[in-house]
Structure 1
Amino acid sequence: MKKLNLEIKHDRRGSNSVKWDHKDFIDSRASDKALPLWLSDMEFKVADEIIDALSKRVDHGFFGQSMPGQKYFSSIEAWYHDRFSWNIEKDSIFYSPGVLPAIGFAINSFTKEGDGIIIQPPVFYPFAQLIEENGRKVVNNNLINDDGYYYIDFDDLEEKAKDPNSTMLLLCSPHNPVGRVWKKEELLKIIEICKKYDLTIFSDEIHCDLTRKNVRHYPLMSLGAYDKIAAAVAPSKTFNVGGLPIAQIIIDHVDLKDRWNKETYGKHFIRFAPPLDMVLCETAYSHCAYWVDEVMDYVEDNFDFIVSFLEEKLPQTKYKKPEGTFLAWINFGAYVNHKDLMDILITKYDLLIEDGIVFGQPGDGYFRLSIACQRDILEEGLNKIVQAINELQEQ
């Protein structure tokens, strides 16, 4: 089996990378030399098999309109069956140009203007934006924070779900940014409540492959307890190919399928899929499981390093290794004001991380770091944070 050398660093500047070249996307004060630990984008080169397959397809020389073929569907079906025991039928797989556009399509497909859509902050910030910009109402079912370990407030969820104006739950599973991988019994309780009050569930499972050792992700639809569900999966986070926007939306429910088609095909004429993106999927899902497994081993070691580092130098963070994702969610607000820390990190220490407040009010004091990077990059970033906190405390 091929062995990856994940310690090799690659210069990504000059490639129009959002993470490395467009730092003003997060803060206009960031300098060109700022170290970016802020975007859910890995610093590990894509698997050779993907690069070779894309190169071969480019050499073919034709890029006309294309549609998913049997290899595309078979690769998806096999991946989710083998890793999650999830049996997906071909006619339940729908193409989308990414998960975030899919959430927008789902909001317009499955709800009407003015409807309430439940989310569970602190949660990926585009959720609220997409709900509001599409004329719906954000309904917050805040997670319970128990010293950095998060639980679902099921009593509050039921209160919000039984409101006749609430029509959909937008679930993040595994959860970004807190890193929870929901247990089977938690997912069944979610289903029980949504079924009781006839809520549609859109389950964003883009991080499903990125779990810690001995932690199992359960695809919501695989539990078979409810069919008024649409799920989003994608190769983007799993194989570090977020710049090639393709996602698979899985829908079994006949009426939801019809609504989805009316929105995507009828209104936006999303019918075809880019040829390179399909080659990417076929290759990644069929030949690159080894790459994911090795990368996740490295990420696991990075998380263990963070735990030890913070226990020694910033113990008040009470940091716990997350069950999923490659994102660290850390309470640096236990030491200093979050705005002051962001300011000094950007203006003096040339470090970019994400202020947790953008994920909703429950994120106040927390920060999100992308730690799928070489160990020395991670250590450099953490040391900058320690230095910044010490300086602020001395002022």
Structure 2
Amino acid sequence: MEYDFKNAPDRSHTDSVKWDVKPGELPMWIADMDFKTAPEIIKAMKEKVSLGAFGYEWPQADYFNAVADWYEIEHGYRPQTNWMIFTTGVVPAISSIVRRVSHIGDNVLVQEPVYNIFYNSILNNGRHVLSSNLVFDGEHYSIDWTDLEEKLADPLTTLMIFCNPHNPIGKVWTKAEVQKIAQLCQKHHVVLLLDEIHGDLVRKGQGYTPAFSIEAKSNVISLVSPSKTFNVAALHAAYEEGHDWLKKLKQQLNENFDYVSQFIQENVPEVKVVSGDATYLMWINVQKVTDNSADFAAFLRKETGLIISAGSVYRGNGQDFIRINLACPLAMVKDGMKRLVEGIRKYSK
């Protein structure tokens, strides 16, 4: 089947969070794709709508088998269906798990810079954020294993939230790394909670390691969802028909990433792409332009209409970075890059 990755649906005036913008602005921030979702999903939804009844429902065995089939086909590991619990979303699940497995005043360990909503789920529930910051060497991020174990050994640390693959840096953790973190958590009686919502969006290289596939998983909770994969955050969708669409999507994302990487290298060499091989979110080092990514992001929007995410919201060394969403038609990507160059030149003056 042919899929359209060249045209973006017009979502202005539709209650879209991403597209609630002023005329002429270009939003490339929130993790929301500007592609129509898979036609197979749209077809299934039309069939459901045509029934004309929307009473109480609950997923049955066919749903959980579809999830298991998806992970076996896409990732080479089949989870047991009796491991699965249906929830209304990854973020509500994180907040519920924080309340259930930790206590008020406990430490919840994260690895900054990391997805900013983690902080809301921790702090809003009366827990403390404890970070074992990822180490950045100017090229890549890595784990400080000594620091991580020291903080896991803290008696007040009862839960660790691990982003796998990582948002915003796009890093795909190896199976050995996932296994080692799980073993350290097990050793120190810490529950390991993994946000694996970007697991299907590994664009190249090794695939991601689902938490259920490792050996030390007795204290592991994995959260997965099709919402990022198929851009159905406002829905609860099925897993059965999306394999071919996902393959074509990743081809388009790689084309977008390759274009931006080359464009930045040729036109604004003072900034540097640091992103890994996962997600559709590019992590860009703007340290030579600014040490205040929030100020720079506000300037970009005001001067060029380009809306991106300031890396500072992810903490860690995020003040030196911006995050740009490249899940949109290439024409929109090119427009965004022109605006970025214009903004950098104006800001540098």
Matched, 1:308 2:307: no
One-letter identity of the residue aligned with 1:47: A
How large is the RMSD of aligned CA atoms in angstroms?
Answer: 1.3
Quote the residue 2:176 is aligned against.
Answer: 185
Matched, 1:299 2:298: no
Give the CA deviation at 1:321. 4.4
Matched, 1:331 2:330: no
Quote the residue 1:59 is aligned against.
Answer: 50
Quote the residue 1:219 is aligned against.
Answer: 210
For 1:223 and 1:209, how far apart are their aligned partners in 2? 17
**Alignment equivalent of 1:43, drawn from 34, 37, 42:** 34
Q: Which moved more, 1:375-384 or 1:288-297?
A: 375-384
Which consecutive aligned stretches of 4+ in structure 1 deviate over 6 angstroms post-superposition?
none
Q: Which moved more, 1:185-194 or 1:125-134?
A: 185-194
Paired residue secondary structure (2:18): helix
Instruction: Provide TM-score, normalisation by structure 2.
Output: 0.96
- Aligned counterparts, 1:116-155, within 5 A: 116-155=107-146
Give the CA deviation at 1:53. 0.8
The count of residues paired between Structure 1 and Structure 2 equals 348
Quote the residue 1:159 is aligned against.
Answer: 150
Taking structure 1 as reference, are residues 214 and 393 closer, same or farther at Cα in structure 2, changes over 3 Å only?
A: closer
Please give the per-residue CA displacement for 1:104-123, whole angstroms capped at 9, x wherever unaligned. 01101111111111000100
Paired residue secondary structure (1:19): coil
Give the CA deviation at 1:390. 0.9
Quote the residue 1:378 is aligned against.
Answer: 333
Q: Does the 8 Å CA contact 1:304/1:321 hold for their aligned counterparts?
A: no
One-letter identity of the residue aligned with 1:366: F
For 1:146 and 1:324, how far apart are their aligned partners in 2? 20
Quote the residue 1:342 is aligned against.
Answer: 297
Paired residue secondary structure (2:199): coil
- Aligned counterparts, 1:96-107, within 5 A: 96-107=87-98
Matched, 1:360 2:334: no
For 2:140 and 2:307, how far apart are their aligned partners in 1? 25
Which fold has the larger relative contact order, with Cα–Cα distance below 8 Å and residues 6 or more apart in sequence?
A: 1
Q: Does the 8 Å CA contact 1:328/1:369 hold for their aligned counterparts?
A: yes
Give the CA deviation at 1:340. 4.0
One-letter identity of the residue aligned with 1:311: Q
- Aligned counterparts, 1:172-321, within 5 A: 172-244=163-235, 277=236, 280-281=237-238, 285-321=239-275
One-letter identity of the residue aligned with 2:244: Y
Give the CA deviation at 1:70. 2.0
Structure 2, unaligned runs of 5 or more? none
Quote the residue 2:62 is aligned against.
Answer: 71
Paired residue secondary structure (1:95): coil
Matched, 1:20 2:11: no
Identity %: 34
